[in-house]
A and B are shown apart, each in its own frame.
Chain A
Amino acid sequence: MRKHFPLRGGLLQRTQAWVRAVDGVSLDVYPTETLGIVGESGCGKSTLARLLLRLIEPDAGRLTFGGEDVREASPPRMKRLRRDMQLVFQDPYASLNPRLTMEDAVAFNLLVHGTPRGEARERARALLGRVGLDPRLYGRRYAHELSGGQRQRVNIARALLLDPKLLVLDEPVSALDKSVQAQVLNLLQDLKEERALTYVFISHDLNVIEYVSSRVLVMYLGEVVEAGTAAALAQSPKHPYTQALFASAPSLDPDRRLDRPPIAGDPPNAIDPPSGCRFRTRCAFAMPRCADAPPPLRPVGTAHEVACYLYEADAAEVAGRR
C-alpha cells in the first residue's frame, strides 16, 4: 500500500477578504510513519488537518489516499474512504456530544456504516477497555462526568472504531495536564504499533512533536518553512523560525535557557501576509531580497528541506551532488 498526500490547500474563503490559512502546502505521509506538524497558534495547522480529511474543501490542490483521488470520490466512495482516515480533536470538551453515553458516542461511527446497534456497542465497549476506560464503569457515563484525559481517551476510541489506516491528531494532548499528556502519548504510541497506524500529529509543542514524530514539518502562517527528520531538525534547525521555536521550548538544561524571548510579537495577519518570505517581519536575519519573492523549499541535506535564502549555498551544494 502506498499513501501519498501531495496537497495544495489554499485560500480559505471569506466574503470580504481572503484568509490565507493554508497556502501552497505540499506533504506526503508514508505508511506507519508519524508526521509531526508544528507551528504557532493560527498558522493553519488545524485547517490543514481538516483539509486532509476533506472536512473542508480546498480551493485548489490534489489529495490522494492510497493512490486514489479523494477529492474526486463519489459520496458513497467517500463514506467508505472516511473509515480509513479519522481525526482526534483538540478540545476534549467540545468533541463529545453531552447527550450521549460514552459507549453510544463511540458506537455512533459504526452505526453510520450500517453495523447493528448491539454489535456496534459491543465493539465500542471493547475499544473503551483498550484505551484504559473500564466499560462497566464508564460505558454508560456522560461526557461531563469524565476528566479531560478520560474524554480524550474516548475520542481516540471513537476514531479507532472504524479501523482507520490514518489518524490525524489535532493537538490531542494540548488541553491536558503534563502528567496526563504523557499517559495519552504513550497510549497513542502503543496503539500505533499494535494496529500499524499512520499518524499525522499536529501540535504547537515542540517537545511533544520531537518525542512522537519520525518526520517533522514546520509551518508558519500557512506555509511550510522547514521539513526533515525529527533528528535532523533537533540537531541542526536551519530556518530562523525553527531555531526560534527550539530556543523557546522549555528546557531542563540551564545552558539552553534564554533570558529574552527568541522572537517577539504576534504573527502577521493571514489576510494580508507580508510579501516574499512571510517570516521576514520577525526575522533577525532578514535581507532586502526576502521581501521580493518567497524563498522556495529546497533540500539542504538528506531528507531535510528549508525555505530560506540563508541556505542557498547549502542548497546549491546538495543539488550539485546529485
Chain B
Amino acid sequence: MKIDARVAALPTWIGFPVRALPLPIINLAFGRLVASIKCRHPELLERLGTHASARFLIDPTDLPLQFLIQPDRDNPVQAYHPSFRCDWDARVSGPLGALIAMVNGELDGDALFFSREVTIEGSTEAILALRNAIDAAEVELASEAIALCGPLKPLAEETAHFLLPILRRWSGVDLARQRVQTA
C-alpha cells in the first residue's frame, strides 16, 4: 500500500532566499495575512471555540521555516527557523503546496493524512477544529492576499492573474483554488 506523492515539494533553491529574509518581516507579512483572514471570516474563530487559544505549529517540510499560530492573539503568527524549539499544542507538517491546497479547500485533508503527505502530532481535537473551521470559512489564500492590498486591489488582482501561473509552474504551489481535483 505505497503512497503516491500527489503534491510535489518546493524546489530546494527556494530555501536560500527564504533563509535570507529577516524573521520580523515574515512575521509582519504573515501576521497581517492571518489577521485579515480572521477579520474577513469571523465565523472562523467562532467555530474554533476553545481551540482558538491553542498553539498550532505549521511546519512546511520543504521550507526552512515553521509558523506558530495562535488564532485568538492579536499577533497570531510567529515565524521561526526550523532549529528553534518552541512549545506547541498541535503540529501539522507537510509540503507547503499540500498545506496551502488544504486551506484552499482544493485537496481533502484526510486524504493527505491517509497518504502521509501531511502528518499531525499533539492535540488531534484542536487540529480537527482548525481544519473544520477553515474549511467552513472557504478561505482562498490568493484572494486573502489580494484583499490585503486595499485600494490597490484591482492592480493586485491583475498582478496575481499574471504571477500565479508562473508561481505554480516554478514551485508547484497554487495560491488560488483551481477546480477541485477528482482522483
Query: Does B bind A?
Result: no
